[in-house]
């Protein structure tokens, strides 16, 4: 998987609200926002991922019943958000483990030159992905804060929803 670290600033209000929410709620809001941005990159990566030319081709692996058909790499691109300590998380976009051969075209091998497709997809959609993350965070932080405040105000509840 291609791993890039992107930090964005200017979301001070959202960050303050995230810190005021319970960690579990803040983590869910953050991972939902990252997934929204990851889905933008995933759509472009699916469009540009390499595909075998012959659509009527036999599966790549004839030794298994579930061989990889043309387009398997495109179908296996995933978005996975992972929570880290506090109000921190990361998102991974790339082929699943079963489509391990996607990295061969991305980075090349000793016998094949690199033909990048995931990094250019990220470069083309970076701004749109950040916009999707910001919109999702803004919308979901406000909703989570309202729900948490309403839950905390109910009698018999301590510390909001669980």
- pTM for this predicted structure: 0.72
Pinpoint the alpha helices (H) of the chain: 12-20, 23-48, 72-75, 102-107, 118-153
- Local confidence band at 81 (pLDDT 50, 70, 90 cut-offs): confident
Domain ranges of the chain: 12-151
| Exposure letters 94-133 (e unless 16+ CB within 10 A, then b) | bbeeebeebeebbeeeeeeeeeebbeebbeebeeebeebb
Q: pLDDT by residue (tens digit) across 113-143?
A: 999 999 999 999 999 998 998 888 888 877 7
Q: pLDDT by residue (tens digit) across 34-68?
A: 899 999 999 999 999 887 665 555 555 544 455 56
pLDDT attached to residue 162: 47
């Amino acid at each position: 998987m291609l791993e890039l670290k992107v930090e964005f600033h200017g979301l001070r209000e959202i960050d303050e609200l995230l810190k005021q929410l319970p960690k579990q709620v803040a983590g869910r809001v953050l991972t939902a926002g990252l997934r929204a941005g990851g889905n933008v990159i995933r759509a472009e990566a699916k469009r540009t991922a390499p595909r075998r030319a012959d659509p009527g081709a036999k599966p790549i692996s004839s030794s298994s019943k579930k061989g990889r058909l043309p387009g398997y790499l495109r179908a296996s691109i995933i978005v996975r958000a992972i929570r880290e300590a506090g109000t921190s998380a990361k998102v991974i976009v790339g082929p699943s483990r079963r489509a391990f051969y996607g990295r061969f075209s991305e980075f090349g091998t000793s016998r094949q030159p690199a033909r990048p497709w995931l990094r250019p997809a990220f470069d083309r959609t970076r701004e749109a992905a950040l916009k999707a993350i910001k919109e999702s965070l803004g919308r979901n932080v406000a909703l989570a804060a309202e729900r948490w405040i309403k839950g905390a105000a109910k009698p018999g509840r301590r510390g909001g929803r669980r």
